[in-house]
Amino acid sequence: MDSKKETIIISLGGSLVAPGDSPSPLGFGGASIDLGFLKNFKRTIEKYIGNPPSPSGFGVARKFFILVGGGKTARNYQKALLEFGAKNNDRDWIGINITRLNAEIIKQMFLRNCYPKIITDPNKKIKTNKNIVVGAGWKPGWSTDYDAVLIAKNYNIKTIINLTNVDYVYDKNPNEFTDAKPLKEIDWKSFQRIVGNKWSPGLSMPFDPRATKLAASLKLKLAIINGKNLDRLEDFLNNKPFIGTIIK
């Protein structure tokens, strides 16, 4: 990646790509693809790539690593495997394969501006003049959030954006506690207490517990932003106040 441009990592929640909660137009249940979100996401990211000054007029041009998760579709498959006695390793692998399917869509979407291969090993450095690199799951034991943190470590990148489907990190599960409070800013130590320390396939947390531990040790900045409202992502990229949570 071009060191002259700021590089930002986006950990893109798979449930934004494929919500997996409604039938497809063909009548099959499962992994419906949210084409509306994808088209809006493409337009948003393309505003911020190019040679400085950005032709979009949005300030300094950037490069992006986009790490794509498996989301609800992966969790549905993992749950089905569990019914038949699958071990955690096998459940992780099916989730990894779903991340790679989702990543194929993102790569194709940015094809002209994208590195031609989906990266699956975050420790393997690449050289490219493309503005976007798309990645997916690597191996069992953690999520693509952890892969995103490994990329940050290996490329000396200090900022990760986690695009998810919630507005904020809360002090406790808002689906279980009506008095859960949204947090606009939190330190890594406090955030670790919220997400815990244990990883399991299909775990639904604002950020992977293992990724949290490594990100804290690297002193990264993480922005949790609801990807269903991409104006919030633009506010963050434009260094404006935004709706979401900062962890640092």
Quick one: tokens of 106? 């993102």
Burial (CB < 10 A; 0-12, 13-18, 19+), residue 45, is buried
Q: State the pLDDT confidence band at 23, using cuts at 50, 70 and 90.
A: very low
Q: Is residue 136 situated within a structural domain?
A: yes
**CA distance between the termini of the chain:** 24
What does the pLDDT look like over 73-82, one tens digit per residue?
888 888 899 8
List of residues 6+ apart from 35 with CB closer than 8 A: none
CATH of the domain at 182: 3.40.1160.10
Q: How many CB atoms lie within 10 A of CB 120?
A: 16
Share of the chain above pLDDT 90, in %: 60
Q: What is the mean pLDDT of the chain?
A: 86
Q: Is residue 60 situated within a structural domain?
A: yes
Q: State the pLDDT confidence band at 66, using cuts at 50, 70 and 90.
A: very high
On the question of pLDDT at 220 being above 90, the answer is yes
Q: State the pLDDT confidence band at 5, using cuts at 50, 70 and 90.
A: confident
Q: What is the pTM of this model?
A: 0.88
User: How far, in Å, CA of 172 to CA of 52, rounded?
Assistant: 42
On the question of pLDDT at 53 being above 50, the answer is no
Domain that holds residue 87: 6-247
Domain count, the chain: 1
Q: Is residue 154 situated within a structural domain?
A: yes
Q: State the pLDDT confidence band at 3, using cuts at 50, 70 and 90.
A: low
Q: Beta strand pairing status for 6-12 and 62-68? A: parallel
Beta partners for residue 223, in sequence order: 161, 246
What does the pLDDT look like over 133-147, one tens digit per residue?
999 999 888 888 999
